[in-house]
Amino acid sequence: MPCVRFLMDRYHPARKAAGREDLTIHGLRHTALTIAGQHGATGAELQARAGHASQAAMALDQHATLDRDRALAEKIGQTYADWQASRRPK
């Protein structure tokens, strides 16, 4: 597989130079799919980007993050506050 060899011949020195020899291509794939999801990619878009046969397979490569959880909680709270404000008598 010459394409894989070409990639790995560049990837290994790059991660060594970055001091992150623990990083794997698969780990970077998980990170990329997680970030794409955080930026609003749909399940179908993530599935296509990852080349997965099903959304269940795609979901395995995506992870929750604390920052995203906090942002979602803030949005939910704001939605509730807006709803409460809209119900107050004027």
pLDDT tens series, the chain, 90 aa:
578 889 899 999 999 999 999 999 888 888 888 888 888 888 889 889 888 888 777 777 777 777 877 887 888 889 889 988 998 887
Write down the pLDDT at residue 1. 59
For the chain, give every domain's residue range: 2-63
> 38-46 — which CB contacts under 8 Å span 24+ positions?
38/65, 38/68
Q: Going by C-beta distance under 8 Å and a sequence separation of 6 or more, which residues neighbour residue 32? A: 49
DSSP assignment, residue 21?
Answer: T
Q: Output the six-digit token pair for 32.
A: 């990329």
